[in-house]
Amino acid sequence: MAVFFRASDSGINFEVAEYQEFPRPEPEDAPTETPKPKLKHISVVLLSFGLLCVLQGILNISLRLALTEPTDKGETEISVCPEGWIMFGSSCYYISSQRRSWDNSRRDCMQREADLVIITSRQEQAFLTGFTAAAWVGMTDREQEGTWVWVDGTPLDEDMLQWANGQPDGAYGGEDCADLRTMKNFIGLNDFNCSSRNQWICEKALL
Ligand SMILES: [Ca+2]
Ligand SMILES: [Ca+2]
């Protein structure tokens, strides 16, 4: 061990250096097997890592296959709905548990990067029927009484979709927003007062 003394501005520092011995060479006749178990260990770890990589690859491919479906164009798209949304066809639907006016419902959908549902087929109407007693959909006749249009501007296809019995009736001095009813003897689209509080359904297309 060597000890140095050095003076500095702040006072006296002691620097202590440890004498290091050179590693002693292994005797020639030392058993050569000693490093082998270590190497064996490393190869087992490497092999396991390799296997894990292969498994990961297989898992990735199968997940990709499971989560993609061919579209009309013959392309494949990843189609996963956000958590809490349900999938039907090429859309995801969010059914609220709260109740709000039609406008506030639409605002909520837009905050979710969606819009109130636009129902374009008998199958879609049937699918959405039954989740709630009444839920706002994205249809209104505010612009022109009696002319129902979806929020994307397309007119209602009366032959395709079904109003509930006796609807639209413009009751209570005018009902300009549409909801979807699943009630006893009252199943289908209904016109309703836009400021009434209803549950609502948002829809977004799959990516
Ligand atoms: Ca109306
Ligand atoms: Ca009505």
Q: Which residue has the higher pLDDT, 104 or 68?
A: 104
- Euclidean distance between CA atoms 86 and 132, whole angstroms: 14
Which tokens sit at 185?
């003897």
Ligand positioned closest to the Cα atom of 139:
1
Which tokens sit at 92?
């995801």
58 — pLDDT class (breaks 50, 70, 90): low
Q: Which helix (H) or strand (E) element contains residue 187?
A: strand 186-192
Taking 90 as the threshold, does the pLDDT of residue 181 lie above it? yes
User: Taking all residues of the chain, what is their mean pLDDT, rounded to a whole number?
Assistant: 80
Hey, which of 3-12, 24-33, 178-187 has the most confident mean pLDDT?
Answer: 178-187
- The structural domains of the chain, with segments of one domain joined by +, span 83-205
Taking 70 as the threshold, does the pLDDT of residue 13 lie above it? no
Contacts of 9 (CB under 8 A, 6+ apart): none
CA of 130 to the centre of ligand 1 (A): 24
pLDDT of residue 57: 64
CA of 114 to the centre of ligand 2 (A): 26
CA of 205 to the centre of ligand 2 (A): 29
Q: Which helix (H) or strand (E) element contains residue 180?
A: strand 177-183
Closest alpha carbon to 90 in 105, 106, 109, 75: 75
Q: Which of these CATH numbers, 3.30.450.70, 3.10.100.10, 1.20.1250.20, 3.40.50.970, describes 83-205?
A: 3.10.100.10
Which tokens sit at 143?
């612009």
Taking 90 as the threshold, does the pLDDT of residue 140 lie above it? yes
CA of 175 to the centre of ligand 2 (A): 6
pLDDT tens by residue, 86-105: 999 999 999 999 999 999 99
pLDDT of residue 66: 55
- Euclidean distance between CA atoms 168 and 144, whole angstroms: 14
51 — pLDDT class (breaks 50, 70, 90): confident
Lowest mean pLDDT among 35-44, 57-66, 158-167: 57-66
